[in-house]
A and B are shown apart, each in its own frame.
Chain A
Amino acid sequence: MRLEYTEKQKAFRAEIREWLAAHVPSKPLVSFDTREGFEQHREWERTLNAGHWSAVTWPSELGGRGCDLIEWLIFEEEYWRAGAPLRVNQNGIFLLAPTLMEYGTDEQKQRFLPRMAAGDDIWAQGWSEPGAGSDMAAIRCKAIRDGDHYVINGQKTWSTRAAYADWLFGLFRTDPDSMRHHGLTFILLPLNLPGISIRPIKQLNGLPGFAEIFFDDVRVPVENRMGDEGSGWSVAMATAGFERGLMLRSPGRFQQTAKSLIDLYKQYRQSADADSALGDAAVKAWMDAEAYALATYSTASRLRKGGQIGAEASTNKIFWSEMDLAMHEAAMHMLGPRAELMSPSPQSAGDGHWLDGFLFAQAGPIYAGSNEIQRNIIAERMLGLPRS
């Protein structure tokens, strides 16, 4: 055990800190759940890529820096500390790319990864369907082989920012007679193909951050398949492992929120009728964000020595989503009657960022596998309890 950074790691931190100080936009970007904001965030991805910062863990020949997971954590810490824009290509860079590197052909890697790093292709996910949410093996959207193409018919839903994204990755049923997790195939497709129609869905904040995608005889070349036909479930599980595991939510995000909550409490406690229980909530926010950071460093250290990501994927998801909710709930209580106010009310808190965060925190325990599903996974795979 050695809980100090090496000189190389310190130099890496200094380098990214300096770069971010020079490049992070001084004015916050418009929400990436709008067309205008989406394109602003795409520009930011291009800026990041020009500095070789868009995908630091990738090999350098694919546009990355070959960083290990500790350096990735340092990068993320500095990124959140600098208040840099949210990553519009998170789905691609952090979720699809690790799966592509494991299951994709060399040709697919060359074709997709550099464009992903450059912000030329922004990726959406295609898992959920009206009848397949938590029960993802109930997927029905068909992709039937026709020569050197798959012909896709059906529907996907809850696809984040699919209204603006360029490409989609997801699971489709290539064997119409198959059941459950058999007969599914992992397919990548551009969202501008003939036969695709996209209907945006407004989220809690009124912005069209979700979309439904309808497929009507959409023809996708066979070379857009990742992994073998019918092996989609195991390929998808690898994506889900990374998503829930380490890279979906890095600790820097929550440490930044905890710091802001502590600052908020320092103002709040000066009011005459301050609720001291909210001071406890701020203490807990610091402790939990710190615990999450420590747990991530611990997992990263283990993985670097050749360990595998296991049930951390599920314990992490539960921990960060509940922590995020608790921190934002505490902030709302501290803000009291100001909590509901939105921009441009001069009384809205921090231009409404607590309110935005509070709304977004509601989704945490639901997306990327609901927390109930995560608890089942923990109970069955980590604790060895019998399946229901």
Chain B
Amino acid sequence: MDFTFKEEHVAFSDSIRKFLMVEAAPEMLREIWETESGRSKTLREKLAEQGLTALSVPEEFNGIGLGDLDWVLIHQELGYYAIPDSLTDTAYLATYLLSHLSTDASLKKEWLPKIANGSARVAVGHPRNPLVADAANADLLLLWHEDEVHAVRRKQVQLTQHPSIDMSRRLYQVNWTPSDTTRICPARIGKALWEGLVDRAALAAAAQLLGLAQRMLDLGIDYAAQRKQFGKPIGSFQAVKHHLADVAVKIEFAKPVLYRAAYAVMREQPRRSVHVSHAKLAAGDAAWLAARKSIQVHGAMGYTWEADLQMFMKRAWALDAAWGERAFHKKRIADFIYADQAPLGPGETFT
């Protein structure tokens, strides 16, 4: 039993944090928000240079072949910096689907190396989300149809954009026609594959939410330490301190839940879906509390477009319902705890 990350995991995510600190300043995020595509080619190239697009592509397809535990720390950083890119969908989720396909090796050969080198974007559509993120930028779309997996090129679909309050999210309704030629995986295999995908997607959202929560807490701390009223920094007042301390507590107790979920997914443990749902709920709760408390501490500034806080709040509000709204995740936990003979109580945490 050892619930700590290996040094190389921590070192890698530290290096990514330092990179993003320089490359993903809030001013740059604002610029990308204002562009039509909402995506930056330059940023994508830099993410690829850091190895992020290749992270979980198998080595035989020119990737690095790392797994869920590596991603969970990276996703926290991507959340912390509110990175406007389809990196998660392409390099984590689509890569998971493609590398687990047994039937169509040519598809793997075509797309996995391009994902690894950062030249391809792949969108993923699943009914858990009514709209498909980044469909317009995608070279390829992997779409759910009755538990089958279908692969569709960008030109084979019609898109209608639905604007989100989070301008870095680009959401589309996708009109397409499933056929024998688009099907790349039958339902009997696809069902488990999609379940694994939903777990990973929710895990990635949870990790980003926790990163966002930390960012909003940090912004609140900075503001409270600088802003003076009654002749003192407002952060010296207990009412303000306690708002921020509450956020810190939520984050502290969501982190180990997130890491255990990542471990359970990596090890394909039987209870992984319950753990992922727990992580998603805990991280969503932390992120929403961080948003509420941070805007309160920011006062009127927090309600402006000018304050950077808005970018992180909006991402948090949106991601909370992505890849399973709260009711979905609560139900997965309720089904587990209310089952006859459910393994509950002391000593069952790791059974």
Give residues in A with beta carbon < 8 Å to B. Answer: 1-6, 9, 13, 70, 74, 76-78, 80-81, 251-253, 255-256, 258-259, 262, 265-266, 279-280, 282-283, 286-288, 290-295, 297-298, 300-302, 305, 311-312, 315, 318-319, 372, 374-376, 378-380, 382-388
Contact = CB atoms under 8 A, between A and B. Distances in A.
Given A315-B253, A385-B244, A386-B235, A81 B346 contact: yes
B220 to A, nearest CB: 9
Contacts of B257: 287, 290-291, 294
Nearest to A380: B241
B263 A283 contact: no
B192 interface: no
Nearest to A263: B344
Contacts of A305: 4
A256 to B, nearest CB: 6
B94 to A, nearest CB: 26
B224 A385 contact: yes
B245 A379 contact: yes
Q: B6, B256, B350: which has the most chain A beta carbons within 10 Å?
A: B256
A5 B233 CA distance: 48
Given A297-B256, A380-B241, A388-B236, A77 B347 contact: yes
Contact of B233 (A2, A74, A380, A386): A386
A3 B267 CA distance: 10
A252 to B, nearest CB: 4
Interface in B225-269: 225, 232-233, 235-238, 240-242, 244-246, 248-249, 252-257, 259-260, 263-264
Instruction: Name B's interface SS.
Output: helix
Contact of B278 (A290, A386, A387): A290
B249 A378 contact: yes
5 contacts: A265-B338, A292-B253, A375-B241, A382-B245, A385-B244
Interface string B1-33: 111111000000000000000000000000000
Contact of A378 (B6, B224, B245, B338): B245
Interface in B127-184: none
Contacts of A279: 334
B232 to A, nearest CB: 8
A301 B3 contact: yes
A319 B249 contact: yes
B346 A301 contact: no
A300 B349 CA distance: 15
Contacts of A382: 245, 248
B68 to A, nearest CB: 11
A80 B348 CA distance: 12
B301 interface: no
Given A6-B1, A262-B344, A286-B333, A315 B225 contact: no
A294 B236 contact: no
B216 to A, nearest CB: 13
B337 interface: yes
Contact of B235 (A13, A251, A385): A385
Given A255-B345, A287-B282, A375-B242, A384 B225 contact: yes
B346 A255 contact: yes
Q: A2, A290, A372, A387: which has the most chain B beta carbons within 10 Å?
A: A290
A253 B345 CA distance: 9
B69 interface: yes
Nearest to B253: A291
Nearest to A297: B3
A130 B112 CA distance: 71
B249 A256 contact: no
Interface of B: 1-6, 69, 217, 221, 224-225, 232-233, 235-238, 240-242, 244-246, 248-249, 252-257, 259-260, 263-264, 278, 281-282, 330, 333-334, 337-338, 342, 344-350
B242 A2 contact: no
A68 to B, nearest CB: 10
Contact of B282 (A291, A375, A378): A291
Given A1-B259, A286-B337, A295-B256, A252 B282 contact: no
A374 B241 CA distance: 11
Contacts of A300: 3
A139 B165 CA distance: 55
Given A1-B263, A385-B244, A70 B1 contact: yes
A292 B242 CA distance: 21
A386 B244 CA distance: 13
Given A81-B347, A315-B248, A388-B238, A3 B337 contact: no
Contacts of A374: 245
A305 B224 CA distance: 35
Nearest to A250: B346
Nearest to B326: A280
B337 A283 contact: yes
Contacts of A280: 330
A10 B346 CA distance: 14
B6 A259 contact: no
Nearest to B281: A287
Contact of B6 (A1, A283, A290): A1
A287 B257 CA distance: 9
A1 B3 contact: yes
By Cβ-Cβ distance, the 10 closest A-B pairs, closest first, are: A379-B241, A252-B346, A294-B256, A259-B345, A77-B346, A375-B245, A77-B347, A385-B235, A378-B245, A301-B3
